[in-house]
Amino acid sequence: MAISSNLGYPRIGVDREWKKALEGFWAGKIDETTFTQQLQDIRLNHLRIQQAKGIDLLAVNDFSRYDHILDTAVMFGIVPKRFQYEGGIVPLSVYYGIARGTKEATASEMTKWFNTNYHYIVPELGGVEPQLTENQPLQAYREAKEKLGIEGKPVIVGPLTFLKLSKGFAANETDTWLDKLLPLYVQVLSELAAEGVQWVQIDEPILVTKLSVEDVERLKKVYATLTAAVPSLNIMLQTYFEAVENYQDIVSLPVKGIGLDLVHGQSGNLSHIRQYGFPSDKVLGAGVIDGRGIWRADLNEKLALLGELGELVTSDRLFVQPSCSLLHVPVSTARETKLAAELQGALAFANEKLDELVLLTKAITQEADAVREQLQAADKALKQLKDSAARNRRDVQEVVAAVAGQEPQRSKPFAERHADQQAQWRLPLFPTTTIGSFPQTAEVRKARQLWRKGEWSNEQYDAFIREEIDTWVKLQQEIGIDVLVHGEFERTDMVEFFGEKLEGFAFTQNGWVQSYGSRCVKPPVIYGDVAFAEPMTVAETVYAQSQTERPVKGMLTGPITIMNWSFVRDDIPREQVAYQLAFALRQEVESLEHAGIGMIQVDEPAVREGLPLKEADQAEYLAWAVKAFRITTCTVKETTQIHTHMCYCEFHDMIDSIEAMDADVISIETSRSHGELIHSFEENTYELGIGLGVYDIHSPRVPSVEEMEGMIDRALRVLNPKLFWINPDCGLKTRGSEETVASLRNMVAAAQLAREKYSSLV
């Protein structure tokens, strides 16, 4: 008989208690014993919720102290040498040092988890001999069984995915590293089998990407080895985020189950199943509920899909599950009391998705009549949203269609614009600037809270924001920064702020998801047609400009980032949503320019994370992503300098698209992966203005002048000094004021040294 199975649950808790525990521990407010107990309490509560919902097979070891890839690395003793780890169980101080950095050692690189807005810590394998430090999946299994009587399904990241996401070794060392890791995986699984574990979930999302012939052979070797070592253990080889490549090879592996994404990878995976069938000796993990989106499922459609699968797979070999871990969605809609009824009824967060899994399982194992009332309620909710006025704005649809039908471009090519802008701004060699935000102190957050609660008037709040702007404009001038920003003190989040001022958006009260570490975001919900209402950033930017003779950049979030960092409606193509956003933001750009702001930064840090995992789909996405940016920025004068910013990404495979955006200046996060990006510019020319981040803002350490000078020197080996800018690698919102000022002073000092060194060469 089919059963319901979950792949993973959000770590943060309904009240973000996980985040609060981490930050309390980091701040020294709680000791390690108390912290460890708090994490266990949170972890067990999450299991109780899933147990009460009626999920048959619960994932354990999906919880983390920071990141599941980092967990896997430290479980195998893979700790960079700079942290002076000497073996054994990795202390929390070292664990968090790898993630966040210390005064003595830089943090490991952080990058996107496939095409999601979650970030993982990149393992560094160089110079390390792996060892099993502790069997974390076994500990999680024992805890769930002893404390709650749950026969859990331990989760572990698979060897091929782990290696493919790691760095610090040459391509020709891949097999050597596989040979080092495989015995450790065997040891983990052997101990699980000895404990009586029935199912283990081995996550191999790398299988949805293009694999080489060698990788396919490695995959076969891995699972032949694991199965031979622990033949009694049921291995569920779990994939997600897209359709698998090499379907026939994968379903032929000697494992007991294969998990497939039948939401985002439905077309490819379903066509493979139809064409080649599914092995009669394996369980199909049917990922039919969207683990990444927040919309209620069309349950009749899902039942039809399960019905088709039921003709190919017997019911005792079917797991009904999400398309991926529920890590990527908020916890519960229960506390969402302020949304429009038409929207509220159409939402499903993690807990509601569990209900959908149980409902679908009941419908296919019993009679659909038993759940007919619930199916009808779901249909009604989805139809109400579909027919709503917010989704049927002809005025928006027609004008955006007309704009999208044109080819957006600036009035002059970059070389001519650059000359005009130099004449206009007279900036020094290697201009210095920041990315936009300055520290959001406790006072800033408290002021916003008082204003939102109505305890402060608009006038009081505006006066407070202007005082913050005054303080930081003066500080920037005193430090010696060339192009200033107003600091974004009025903004909670770079996407939420704009969503609150555009039409077609809604906002949850508790729709938090983990982005990286303890950093949680509350993505806006794009549920209707997007439209510009009134200027959003002009007042603060113009005020800041009035306080200085130096240029102040207007600061916007770009259309692709707003889209990729929001929960997006799924009834129209994402391309159409991007163009609606682009046209709305164009009107804001024009408002800033009309108000006298001659430098405007349109940030697009999330362009790459939206890149489809399938190579065949990437060119089309990049084309309309670039077009959306150009729609936003193409109507300004040639002397108006357009900046953009990107972070957390690998760019070597999209340099051409970045250049096609035609921004006058792009700043790129590189401090954790400086060498890799420099190598990209050794192989690809870049003829527009560019600033490579010279220090990591995600770490509390203050980098030295010499450290930043070294980064500048390396960048200038391959980049044109006349077009080079100097800046931090990202916004400074999360940093403390003291460390921010100290770091920026060092950055300006490094820039001055570079000017002295290179002025004679320019």
Whether 282 has a binding-site annotation, put simply, is no
Q: Which of 368, 386, 404 is the last residue of a domain?
A: 386
Cα 55 from Cα 49, distance rounded (Å) = 9
Whether 647 has a binding-site annotation, put simply, is yes
The reply to whether 518 falls in a domain is: no
Same domain, 380 and 298: yes
Report residue 583 as tokens.
């046209």
Q: Which of 345, 365, 386 is the last residue of a domain?
A: 386
The reply to whether 498 falls in a domain is: no
Q: Which of 297, 222, 295, 211 is nearest to 248 (CA)?
A: 211
What residues have CB less than 8 Å from 230, skipping those under 6 apart?
A: 186, 189, 190, 192, 193
Same domain, 251 and 308: yes
Q: Which of 72, 61, 88, 63 is nearest to 142 (CA)?
A: 61
H or E element, residue 420: helix 414-425
What residues have CB less than 8 Å from 15, skipping those under 6 apart?
A: 510
Same domain, 221 and 83: yes
Binning the chain into helix, strand and coil, the percentages to the nearest 5 are 50, 15, 40
Same domain, 298 and 415: no
Helices (H), 54-173: 68-75, 92-100, 136-148, 159-164
Same domain, 313 and 458: no
pLDDT score for 167: 96
Going by the DSSP 8-state scheme, the letter that residue 492 receives in this structure is S
Same domain, 436 and 335: no
Cα 431 from Cα 670, distance rounded (Å) = 18
Cα 637 from Cα 592, distance rounded (Å) = 12
DSSP notation for 90-115: PPHHHHHHHHH--SSSPPPPEEESTT
Going by the DSSP 8-state scheme, the letter that residue 346 receives in this structure is T
Going by the DSSP 8-state scheme, the letter that residue 566 receives in this structure is S
Q: Which of 469, 523, 517, 474 is nearest to 494 (CA)?
A: 523
Residues in the chain with pLDDT values less than 70: 368, 648-652, 671-679, 762
Cα 19 from Cα 492, distance rounded (Å) = 17
The reply to whether 495 falls in a domain is: no
The reply to whether 31 falls in a domain is: yes
Whether 391 has a binding-site annotation, put simply, is no
Helix (H, G, I), strand (E, B) or coil at 676: helix
Same domain, 325 and 399: no
pLDDT score for 680: 72
Helix (H, G, I), strand (E, B) or coil at 642: strand
Same domain, 376 and 448: no
Report the predicted TM-score, pTM, of the whole model to 2 decimal places.
0.89
The reply to whether 81 falls in a domain is: yes
Host domain of residue 484: 394-489+526-761
pLDDT score for 531: 98
Point out which residues pair with 595 in neighbouring strands.
Answer: none
Q: Is 272 a catalytic residue?
A: no
Same domain, 380 and 480: no
Same domain, 449 and 349: no
Q: Which of 335, 363, 386 is the last residue of a domain?
A: 386
The reply to whether 494 falls in a domain is: no
C-alpha pair distances (Å), 366 with each of 133, 319, 323, 420: 46, 15, 23, 73
Buried/exposed 570-608: b ≥16 CB within 10 Å, e otherwise: eeeebbbbbbbbbbbbbbbbbbbbeeebbbbbbbbbbbb
DSSP notation for 678-699: HHHHHHS---SEEEE--S-TTS
Query: Helices 92-100 and 68-75: crossing angle, nearest 10°?
Result: 130
pLDDT score for 489: 93
Cα 66 from Cα 324, distance rounded (Å) = 19
Same domain, 367 and 420: no
Same domain, 193 and 303: yes
Q: For the segment 128-174, what is each residue's pLDDT rounded down to a tens digit?
A: 999 999 999 999 999 999 999 999 999 999 999 999 999 999 999 99
CATH number at residue 652: 3.20.20.210
Q: How many domains does the chain have?
A: 2
Query: Out of 272, 328, 418, 698, which one is annotated catalytic?
Result: 698
For residue 506, the Cα-to-chain-centroid distance in whole angstroms is 20
The reply to whether 741 falls in a domain is: yes
Length of the chain: 762
pLDDT score for 655: 83
Whether 259 has a binding-site annotation, put simply, is no
**Interior angle at CA 465, CA 462 and CA 466, nearest 5:** 85
Whether 149 has a binding-site annotation, put simply, is no
Whether 488 has a binding-site annotation, put simply, is yes
pLDDT score for 369: 76
Checking phi first, is residue 185 left (phi over 0); if not, alpha (psi -120 to 50) or beta?
Answer: alpha
Cα 51 from Cα 57, distance rounded (Å) = 9
Whether 649 has a binding-site annotation, put simply, is no
Point out which residues pair with 59 in neighbouring strands.
Answer: 153
pLDDT score for 673: 55
Whether 669 has a binding-site annotation, put simply, is yes
pLDDT score for 651: 66
The reply to whether 316 falls in a domain is: yes
Pairing state between β 59-60 and 110-112: unpaired
